[in-house]
A and B are shown apart, each in its own frame.
Chain A
Amino acid sequence: ELKVEQNPLFLSMQEGKNYTIYCNYSTTSDRLYWYRQDPGKSLESLFVLLSNGAVKQEGRLMASLDTKARLSTLHITAAVHDLSATYFCAVDVNSGYALNFGKGTSLLVTP
């Protein structure tokens, strides 16, 4: 059974600081996704990583994928309050028919 583990599950950080969220998964996959969820809202796609070494950046967020280590990272640079949300990673292990999600990382950015 595929396991997708995120850490930390909760993160409180000050504005302007940098931090990294980690996503480990237990079986071979070369497709990994990052989503953002605001409280009470649906999930918004952030990044799609489709190969080993893939790196995607948008604004203050940068995601990377190391398929050999079965690890993806979501790096936050100079955090701002608007980044407060829950971030999920998800792994595709069934030919694209389903994604397995981590439990999410609840991020709170404080002044």
Chain B
Amino acid sequence: GAGVSQSPSNKVTEKGKDVELRCDPISGHTALYWYRQSLGQGLEFLIYFQGNSAPDKSGLPSDRFSAERTGGSVSTLTIQRTQQEDSAVYLCASSLVFGAKMNTEAFFGQGTRLTVV
């Protein structure tokens, strides 16, 4: 597709259940980011992929959170045993990476609104 695609757009789940959020980046984009945004707040960095590897997992809030990326393309963010504090909008972004002196603008998906009840 032309842009970053995230699914589902909305997810309501019961506390304790596992959820999987999917991100389909722009074709050819090597960098992929996951962020979390709580209502009215800024963007909290979760994890960054360069290709299939994740050089920076520092933002994952607990071991209940994990992410993978396969084929340098689609990424899934998995939250196990969801808690109410996990409720937020989860945003995915992708970018081309050229290196120095190049605009590495990140394009964002529409996000997945996760509600844990």
Asked if A and B are interacting partners, one says: no
